[in-house]
Structure 1
Amino acid sequence: MSDPIPRRTPAPGRARKRAIREHAARAGVAYSEAARQLESVGLRPGETLSRYGRTIYPIGFDPHRQLLVERRERRSFEERVSDTRRAAILPHGRARHLVERFPPSRGRTGSGVGSLYHGEGREELLSMLYIVIVAESPGLLPEVGDLAWIAELGEDTALDTACADIDREARRLLGQDPLALWSSIQQALTVAERIVDGQVRQEAIRQTALLSTMMTPRLGYAGEPYVPGLPVAGARQILDALLIVADDGHAPGTRVRLLTQPHDARSATIIGARWGSSGPPVGYLVWVDGATAPLSARPDDLIVLADQETLPR
């Protein structure tokens, strides 16, 4: 009887080298840099520093959202073209497109994170933001003919490229103080109601009525008056996810691990991004599991947990 073939003993460091190669490919960095990162912060398999990579549709805890995202990914070419044609119509068409493209979600149970990409009136607020841009920064607007031509490609990202300036400006507007934002919208709607473009003018008239409704006091369950206000958080998260499509980063809902004291090694959820004038996020707003308030973090202070993307590319 022949002797059994001895099992091959793994060469020392082979698993580590494979992990370095995989991290280098995932993060888009050199092998030496990947090795340094793995050693310096103790990255586990599949994890990356949040400065690298991209998460657009984080694995969430809302099965309905998951269904909507997967269904959207399976659209036919005709459906894609129909969607991009609508997305090319400013202001209201693109606003509706974005709300449908990034549906509501929710945080992990027990994390303290509630609804994400949520809030009544998100579509209306986004439309108002584009009207502000029409009134205040018309030079940022892409040519209507260019948008119509690009829409026939049926590619969301091609249209995103054409609308990159106005999308980033819309996100910047949402960074204003709520009262300043409300004032900017009111002034822009007044200007837009006199604009020659009939489509913009009609939308401005409609949004003026909606804004008045949003800001009108109502009575709560206990009879106390309250103002619903603008769904700023949900609109911000939609635009954060949109900008990440082109510039990389990690969308709200992405699960991370912190590297800084006093929260070292604790898990958290990204609930927003901070942007510069160009490029990927310069920081994130995160909610540490079980916390009562969010905190700001630099990209180098966060590790993105493994397998966060719903639709890996």
Structure 2
Amino acid sequence: MSGAGAAELEAVVRRLAGELSASASAVAKVAADSPQRAEALMRLPRQVHEVMRAAVAYERAVGMTWEEVGRRFELHPDTARRRYEPRTDGERWAAASEGWGPSMRARQLRMAAKVSSRGLYLKERFPETTVRGLIVFGNGHGRDIFLQLAYDAVLAQQPDLAPDAQTVAAAVADVDLAGINAAFAPLDRGVRLFLAQEPPTLWQDQLKAHVAALDKATGPAWQAGRGLVAYYHRATSEYTGVGGYPTSRGFPYQGACQTLDAVLVAGAGGHAPGSMVRLRDGSRAYVLRVQWWGHDGGPDGYTLLPHDAGGAVDIRADQVLGPATTEDAR
């Protein structure tokens, strides 16, 4: 990054640190039993996180490796990267692939290019993170396997969504990850729409029927599907939980939907889960989920979490102006 860019980041760090210091001083002056004190205290952790994220962005801009950042902030390098890596999809993927050799990149291409391993590729591409204390891209009980099961079910219903084998092979030969994802886009969208069915019992019943069909298969088909069948039964089987009440592991539904949203946004445009956006009313919010109403085109709507406080809200896509910038935070 240029010296000017690093200088701008340093100014952002100083400003955010000053705001944090002012907030801490303000909290000390508010009566202990005041509702305003509780609200101010709840804002402090978010401000601390913003200062840390900006500080790490500056350290990276001046050439520090993740190992050096980890030592500076007394964190394991992987923890530092997972917690403070850039928010945009392109930057996140670039950071995740930093330092990979040819064999690792080849592994990612192979995983992305096969339906049976695409769930694992997507899980690694979009690691679990948090916004305002809420988990985004949550792994839950096997996010990658749940995605694989959903892909398998959708292909059984709509085999025409399978990517063209020659196109995928050519993209792999050209080391073209974007080409692979473009070939898979119709299937990715089909799986996302499958999981978007309302009420949820629609996709749940279809998934149950697909697992029953896999369980009855014989020969190679049974061998290929037995891992998915076992996963499904583990996820849905009841057991006695805390307090003696029956429960089950369930599926990492939100994390899977957010993962598909992110890879679709990378190709169709829009804003991925976990990113911060600026709205027409001047406010800022984090994207939690993307709403897709058809088999092509960009996002139709978003489920957003307001930046400062409040619960999730659904809005039309045209109410989002674009990514939030450091200027919006001033």
Q: Which 4+ runs in 1 deviate beyond 6 A?
A: 58-62, 194-197
The answer to whether the 8 A contact 2:190-2:295 is kept is no
The answer to whether the 8 A contact 1:102-1:117 is kept is yes
- Paired position in structure 2 for 1:270: 287
Please state whether the residue corresponding to 1:103 is helix, strand or coil.
coil
Matches of 2:106 and 2:264, distance apart in 1: 21
Matches of 2:222 and 2:98, distance apart in 1: 34
Kindly state the Cα deviation for residue 125 of structure 1 after the two structures are TM-superposed. Answer: 1.0
Alignment of 1:29-48 (within 5 A): none
Cα deviation code 1:211-249 (max 9, x no counterpart): 111011233322222222211100011001100111111
Matches of 1:230 and 1:241, distance apart in 2: 19
Cα deviation code 1:144-194 (max 9, x no counterpart): 454334323222211111111111101111102332222111222333456
Kindly state the Cα deviation for residue 133 of structure 1 after the two structures are TM-superposed. Answer: 2.0
Kindly state the Cα deviation for residue 140 of structure 1 after the two structures are TM-superposed. Answer: 1.3
Q: CA distance change for structure 1 residues 265 and 236 in 2, over 3 Å: closer, same or farther?
A: same
- Paired position in structure 1 for 2:260: 239
Q: Which has the higher contact order (CA 8 A, sep 6+)?
A: 1
Q: Which has the higher helix share?
A: 2
Alignment of 1:89-168 (within 5 A): 89-91=114-116, 93-108=117-132, 113-118=133-138, 119-168=140-189
Stretches of structure 2 lacking an aligned partner (at least 5 in a row): 1-52, 58-78, 86-91
The answer to whether the 8 A contact 1:85-1:152 is kept is no
Kindly state the Cα deviation for residue 135 of structure 1 after the two structures are TM-superposed. Answer: 1.0
The answer to whether the 8 A contact 2:285-2:307 is kept is yes
Alignment of 1:184-223 (within 5 A): 184-192=206-214, 198=220, 201-223=222-244
- Paired position in structure 1 for 2:325: 306
The answer to whether the 8 A contact 1:135-1:192 is kept is no
Query: Alignment identity in percent?
Result: 27
The answer to whether the 8 A contact 1:82-1:154 is kept is no
- Paired position in structure 2 for 1:173: 194
Kindly state the Cα deviation for residue 101 of structure 1 after the two structures are TM-superposed. Answer: 0.7
Please state whether the residue corresponding to 1:142 is helix, strand or coil.
coil
Matches of 2:212 and 2:307, distance apart in 1: 44
Matches of 1:233 and 1:132, distance apart in 2: 18
Cα deviation code 1:52-100 (max 9, x no counterpart): xxxxxx9999844255741314433432222111222222x11111111
Please state whether the residue corresponding to 1:249 is helix, strand or coil.
coil
Kindly state the Cα deviation for residue 103 of structure 1 after the two structures are TM-superposed. Answer: 0.6
The answer to whether the 8 A contact 1:258-1:266 is kept is yes
Kindly state the Cα deviation for residue 253 of structure 1 after the two structures are TM-superposed. Answer: 1.0
Please state whether the residue corresponding to 1:250 is helix, strand or coil.
coil
Residue 71 in structure 1 maps to residue 96 in structure 2? yes
The answer to whether the 8 A contact 1:269-1:288 is kept is yes
- Paired position in structure 2 for 1:255: 276
Cα deviation code 1:250-290 (max 9, x no counterpart): 1011112333xxxx433321101111321111111101245
Stretches of structure 1 lacking an aligned partner (at least 5 in a row): 1-57, 309-313
Cα deviation code 1:25-68 (max 9, x no counterpart): xxxxxxxxxxxxxxxxxxxxxxxxxxxxxxxxx99998442557
Matches of 1:233 and 1:223, distance apart in 2: 26
Aligned AA for 1:106?
T
TM-score by length of 1: 0.68
Matches of 2:98 and 2:193, distance apart in 1: 29
TM-score by length of 2: 0.65
Matches of 1:130 and 1:301, distance apart in 2: 31
Once the two structures are overlaid, the 10-residue window that deviates more, 286-295 or 182-191, is 286-295
Q: CA distance change for structure 1 residues 201 and 166 in 2, over 3 Å: closer, same or farther?
A: farther
Q: CA distance change for structure 1 residues 193 and 160 in 2, over 3 Å: closer, same or farther?
A: farther
